[in-house]
């Protein structure tokens, strides 16, 4: 799979699982009509749309562009998610929004539990996004809010 492959959605995993199971039971891949019936889709066109999407995302491939030639490329559950990095502009915007919410919480006599909880989530989100410096800068302020 390519470096840009992303984890399949729940529906896509179900489709991949159906195809993999069908291949292991029959020794060949299912037709679009069999996929339609097996997965409960309303039309063959819907199946084609989903299959083409999975091919584009790198989870399926077609051998020789012939009938019954679908192959599952890799175990979809073990596919690593590759996210897009946020831009510097997005980072500045996000930090500015978190700062605004901190100022709101710090200017009232006693912030609500909901405000404090929201700030905890936002600081955690900054860390998840790889913005550790920004997250660390808010932690002392978060501790002060918690104490009040």
Of the residues 19, 43, 78, which one is the last residue of a structural domain?
Answer: 78
Of the residues 40, 56, 78, which one is the last residue of a structural domain?
Answer: 78
What's CA 42's distance to the chain center, in Å?
26
Q: Domain check: are 74 and 116 in the same one?
A: no
Residue 2, domain member (yes or no): no
List, for residues 15-30, the tens digit of each pLDDT value: 999 998 988 888 888 9
Q: Domain check: are 72 and 113 in the same one?
A: no
pLDDT at 6: 72
**DSSP characters over 69-114:** -EEE-S-GGGPPP-PPPPPHHHHHHHHHHHHHHHHHHHHSSS--HH
pLDDT at 38: 92
Domain of residue 33, residue span? 10-78
Write the CB contacts of 104 (distance below 8 Å, at least 6 apart in sequence).
115
List, for residues 28-85, the tens digit of each pLDDT value: 889 999 999 999 999 999 998 998 888 888 888 888 777 788 888 865 445 455 555 7
User: Into how many domains does the chain fold?
Assistant: 2
Q: Which residues of 48-75 are buried (b: 16+ CB within 10 A; e: fewer)?
A: eebbeebeebbbbeeeeeeeeebebbee
- Token pair of 10, please? 């729940």
pLDDT at 80: 52
pTM of the prediction?
0.48
């Amino acid at each position: 799979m390519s470096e840009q492959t992303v984890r399949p959605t729940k529906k896509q995993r179900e489709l991949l699982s159906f195809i993999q199971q069908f291949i292991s039971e029959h020794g060949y891949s299912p037709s679009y009509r069999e996929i339609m019936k097996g997965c409960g889709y309303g039309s063959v066109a819907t199946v084609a749309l989903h299959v083409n999407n999975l091919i584009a995302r790198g989870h399926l491939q077609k051998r020789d562009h012939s009938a019954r030639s679908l192959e599952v490329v890799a175990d979809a559950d073990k596919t690593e998610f590759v996210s897009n990095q946020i831009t510097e502009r997005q980072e500045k915007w996000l930090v500015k929004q978190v700062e605004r919410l901190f100022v709101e919480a710090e200017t009232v006599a006693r912030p609500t539990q909901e405000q404090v909880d929201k700030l905890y989530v936002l600081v955690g989100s900054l860390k998840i996004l790889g913005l550790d410096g920004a997250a660390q800068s808010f932690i002392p302020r978060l501790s002060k809010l918690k104490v009040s």
